[in-house]
Structure 1
Amino acid sequence: MMQTKYEQQNSLGNSLNIIDTLVKQVVSAEIEAISAAYLIQANQ
């Protein structure tokens, strides 16, 4: 099944958006974990 150039670019764009979202979620979770670790250390 051949995809048109537009369809290929569109599906690539969708894939990149999904990857971008996942990366942002991971970075956000990392920042929260690091922040929590600093808070715990500061309170000891």
Structure 2
Amino acid sequence: MRYAYDAQSGQCLKFVYRGYQGNGNGFDSKEECEDQCARSLYDFA
């Protein structure tokens, strides 16, 4: 399982990564997802 940030809900959600054409929105842990996504939200505020 991996985590991705969902802009609509404002949360990091679990998903099954199958290893094909990933993007930058896939994290090994919920904490890593929240750290990265919260930081980028503050960068734009």
Q: TM-score, normalised on structure 2?
A: 0.36
Structure scoring higher RCO (CA < 8 A, sep ≥ 6) equals: 2
Structure (1/2) with the larger helix percentage: 1
Q: TM-score, normalised on structure 1?
A: 0.37
Instruction: Name the larger-Rg structure.
Output: 1
Structure (1/2) with the larger strand percentage: 2
